[in-house]
Chain A
Amino acid sequence: GIQVEQSPPDLILQEGANSTLRCNFSDSVNNLQWFHQNPWGQLINLFYIPSGTKQNGRLSATTVATERYSLLYISSSQTTDSGVYFCAVGPPRSGTYKYIFGTGTRLKVLA
């Protein structure tokens, strides 16, 4: 099955710093989302981005589907950005719109 690897696995930032999180996938995909899991376990939708670039405030994301990767940019990080970031991809030909989740990046932003 499709493999989804995220890097780095762990990241510690000082408040105000910028960062780039990467998601590599081993096969073509028909869907891709980025999520932030907060300390209480809730997954928050950040971007639905199977291709192209999107921006929402301090966050932006780019997916290059032909090269099988997606990037999440966090600018001017805040302590509330702490948590785990997951990308999830939808394998084509699955017959459903199910997701396979990546390995995650655990982010800690220090005040």
Chain B
Amino acid sequence: GAVVSQHPSWVICKSGTSVKIECRSLDFQATTMFWYRQFPKQSLMLMATSNEGSKATYEQGVEKDKFLINHASLTLSTLTVTSAHPEDSSFYICSASLLAGGPIEQYFGPGTRLTVT
């Protein structure tokens, strides 16, 4: 149980284009999903918290107009990297919380490797 999928697993795009990454909770409903990015040999950095039916909460320093997050249902959140540039190349990982309220665990998707040329 508690499986999270991401699609695509890797993507190469040209500078200036937009890329959408999907995060799905397959066997549970996730009121809250989180988006992280990870550079090579570094830790995960939280980008934003996504709640179903409401606007995402972005961490300090993350451009909300560049990284658009939509949490349209209890099983799907999307991250769109708009007007991508080479410095946006990174490993993007989503996670989902099993329950809202009370102690909860996060379950992580397999990640999406984005390369912008």
| A70 on interface, CB distance cutoff 8 Å | no
Docked-complex contact B93 and A101, CB < 8 angstroms:
no
Interface centre among B49, B97, B108, B113 (most CB of A within 10 A): B108
Output the least CB separation between B26 and chain A (Å).
15
Output the least CB separation between A85 and chain B (Å).
11
Interface centre among B57, B93, B106 (most CB of A within 10 A): B106
Q: Which of B17-25, B40-48, B67-75 contacts A (4 or more CB under 8 A)?
A: B40-48
Docked-complex contact A103 and B43, CB < 8 angstroms:
yes
The count of residues in chain A whose C-beta lies closer than 8 Å to any C-beta of chain B is: 23
Interface of B is mostly: strand
| A54 on interface, CB distance cutoff 8 Å | no
Output the least CB separation between A92 and chain B (Å).
12
Docked-complex contact B103 and A99, CB < 8 angstroms:
no
Docked-complex contact B46 and A42, CB < 8 angstroms:
no
Q: Which of A11-19, A33-41, A58-66 contacts B (4 or more CB under 8 A)?
A: A33-41
- Specify which chain B residues have a CB less than 8 angstroms from the CB of A100 in the assembled complex: 46
A-B contact pairs, 9 of them (CB 8 A): A31-B104, A41-B110, A43-B44, A48-B105, A98-B34, A101-B36, A101-B43, A101-B44, A104-B43
